[in-house]
Structure 1
């Protein structure tokens, strides 16, 4: 039987150019400033992102502090960053994608997409989080990251 996977994808138009948005995603000092769930970088990392490298954070998931491991699997500067992420018991493939757009008023902006692919259920002590719970966690994660990044980039361009 094939492995059941849930894919969640959303995008947002951000009033900043691709270089600015890419920096917000990949500059670790900046990332902790816009992503309110990132509490602390656990170990310094040189030249992030590079394929195979791992960066670890202390991360707030609801009311619980967990470790967030991010291991890039594909890096195309200012275009795409794909990573394997372990967030406590929640493991997923995460893809940031950036496309330049010109608004109706001729202002450069970036269409930022975030896609997560994760298992259909997550085992926890005493049971599992079913596909409905997993989907809710994924949607909240994606929406929260996009909104936070949009607000940051548009106010810190």
Structure 2
């Protein structure tokens, strides 16, 4: 399964917010859009969705911005995917109607695989996928390999 760009951008925003050293500071959507080379309009839709789901806190206005609404250890990856993805059905046998529907046994297997995918994601949090809290991580040169020592 490949996640939609909407979900991909949501995860990027959450990782970005979690890497900020000062977790009380507000981040600006336009700066995040520029950093990830994402359309500002698309990113604002993602941010709105993340805010409605309770993952981030959004503050409107000139001095507004966004920040995590709760600690990264409390933000479950499975929850993020389930909220951001509009369709988690691995197959659609109705569009166009499949002539094999009455004899095919693949659908339950695909659904079981999707459930295993979500179950694995539910074992992890945003904290599990962030290496460090450092505002400098965003200054890395993407043309150079990054060596990360744990």
TM-score higher than 0.5 = no
Q: Which structure: greater strand fraction? A: 1
* TM-score, normalised relative to structure 2: 0.30
* TM-score, normalised relative to structure 1: 0.29
For the pair shown, the structure with the greater C-alpha radius of gyration is 2
